[in-house]
Structure 1
């Protein structure tokens, strides 16, 4: 009796395909910069597991609409219900800094109060992310924005929580691509299969009493409509709104309270209280466009975050901007914790209440 291959949705192109069961694994060859094919069927269980842990399969992209080939870890389908998480926001909103700080804090054990551990699922991809983003960030360098036209995931992690292990794929797409109305925009293809989204709103330098701008965020508007193109997404996809650069108002209530709040176990009432304060803060400032996800999706949380703890400045004229006092992320894991609760990675009665009206 032949077992039907598991159907997997690729997080990059959003196509579904039957996961290969022929035992062939692709291993990246550093010397040739190409993938070598290895048949693991004749290997011992230990060697087979080792090759698969470092290997890949090529997504067949049945629709043929991605152009360049893309690859998934060979162990991607070993785990249930992979998650695809996207960060959405305008150019210069701070998405890359937030994602970098979030992954860094997760690897430093920041999710342990919630019973969650983090490791890499794609070693090569994670090593690249660490080298290109985490290490410069830790040295105090301000990170550049995401390049336009990027279609690959930023990182693929394996999170192990009370409900079991889940692969989590993160996408950080350039604001210019998010605001593009091109029908065949490959960079935003991941949103067709997104399982959760973090909407990133930058707290800009403005008077605390200002009404701000009443124009909706174009990035948010397009992302919401793309997600709602799949009708069940309104109830299926949980979202979080993260107000970045909140350190600019770190001494002003209610921002002060939430940036300095210590990490604790999951508390739905606490998350609801922060969401209420952030909603009132944005509404008072006239940032109505940034509240659109709250109205569009059934489960939504809102958070004040600071990826770096302060603004970067040039060390010398013409030099790269740096965080002179180093980086001090604050509350950056709050949006991720909320999403992990709303997607079942963190389970239990308390998690079921997170993000509910």
Structure 2
């Protein structure tokens, strides 16, 4: 978790400070970030990773140019893996996406990051947001943003990989904390959560915030409400989080629970239609209505048998509830594309801004206890 703000009022954006010990979010081993022998600076070449070292008489400008696009290589578990070059110099903030397969995690995160980059100048003067790593940003754009938001294609299911790594990372300078933060996002296949494959989700043990994604489509079968709403995949994550956080505060990290694909519910319930129709996510000041959305979403989910989805909200940790749609419309059956008409991300930034508030990047929002909604 991020330390509480150390001052009030405007603050400068201080540069990175050397950090002696850093926990690798990929292997969970301590590494000495200040030791370039232990965590070397590397750059990919056609012949493989090249370790970069600075010659004694090398000009500063040439060294900085040569290290553009470089990474830091961790050997914490014996298997080399790379982290953004500045990660250990900044205050880390890990955000994990949790949910079942096909819940809409990948589409939601893609729309969320795209909207954040497009609207970041409108959000708030308290934050300065930039990509943490250029190569990671370019890969995210080519593999996710371009096919989904430019070509309206349905993205393939998240691939299983040998190691869970950041799918995207931001450099967020917060005037409120007076610090610069490395905000990293993890998105892994939903199968890991249903199969309790804890070895494939190490990032959850370090997570500072969780984005819980529940599939709104599961609330209906045809035109009828589903009488048994399945487990959205949260149980695995909650078990791991509670077990690994016992040495901390024993509570779950702050969360935002998103009813994804809410566009498929808007025609069946006036509550969903009301919230999807609101334009209140472009500035941080509009988060003042988050308490109203919490109450409405809680009542909606309880009314339609989705009590399993509310487990994070009943955990005792700050958790907000949201209606959102990455596309605004369902895909065309069997074509693998979304229709042009009415295609647009809807209220996808609000959950992320709520997490920024809950983790202290911006002033916190007070919300009622779950019992107040019963």
Alignment of 1:13-28 (within 5 A): 13-22=27-36, 24-28=40-44
Counterpart among 133, 147, 157 of residue 145 in structure 1 = 157
State the 1:114 CA deviation. 2.9
Aligned match of 2:181: 166
State the 1:154 CA deviation. 0.7
Aligned match of 2:214: 201
Distance 1:105 1:355, change over 3 A: farther
State the alpha-carbon separation in 1 of the partners of residues 42 and 236 from structure 2. 37
Aligned match of 1:37: 51
Aligned match of 2:242: 228
Taking only aligned residues, the RMSD between alpha carbons, in angstroms, comes to 2.5
> What are the superposed Cα offsets for residues 148-204 of structure 1, whole Å, 9 maximum, x if unpaired?
245222111212332342111111110111222245x2x211111111100100111
Aligned match of 2:10: none
Give SS of 2:270's match.
Answer: coil
Q: Between Structure 1 and Structure 2, how many residues are aligned? A: 338
Contact 2:41–2:72 under 8 Å retained in 1: yes
Contact 1:212–1:287 under 8 Å retained in 2: no
Aligned match of 1:76: 87
Aligned match of 2:137: 126
Aligned match of 2:100: 90
Distance 1:75 1:214, change over 3 A: closer
Aligned match of 2:3: none
State the 1:233 CA deviation. 5.3
Aligned match of 2:4: none
Give SS of 2:171's match.
Answer: strand
Give the structure-2-normalised TM-score: 0.82
Counterpart among 279, 300, 313 of residue 298 in structure 2 = 279
State the 1:334 CA deviation. 0.9
> What are the superposed Cα offsets for residues 312-340 of structure 1, whole Å, 9 maximum, x if unpaired?
125xx6xx500121630000011100111
Q: Which runs of 5+ in 2 are unaligned?
A: 1-16
Q: Which runs of 5+ in 1 are unaligned?
A: none
Aligned match of 2:61: 46
Counterpart among 296, 318, 324 of residue 339 in structure 2 = 324
> What are the superposed Cα offsets for residues 44-89 of structure 1, whole Å, 9 maximum, x if unpaired?
333333444421111122x44xxx421111211222x211111100
State the alpha-carbon separation in 2 of the partners of residues 176 and 236 from structure 1. 22
Distance 1:4 1:340, change over 3 A: closer
Distance 1:72 1:285, change over 3 A: same
Give SS of 1:198's match.
Answer: strand
State the 1:352 CA deviation. 4.8
Aligned match of 1:333: 349
State the 1:210 CA deviation. 3.2
State the 1:5 CA deviation. 5.1
Query: Is structure 2 residue 312 aligned with structure 1 residue 312?
Result: no
State the alpha-carbon separation in 2 of the partners of residues 173 and 101 from structure 1. 17
Stretch moving more, 192-201 or 111-120: 111-120
Give the structure-1-normalised TM-score: 0.86
> What are the superposed Cα offsets for residues 264-290 of structure 1, whole Å, 9 maximum, x if unpaired?
333554111111111111111111111
Aligned match of 1:10: 24
Distance 1:306 1:268, change over 3 A: closer
Give SS of 2:83's match.
Answer: strand
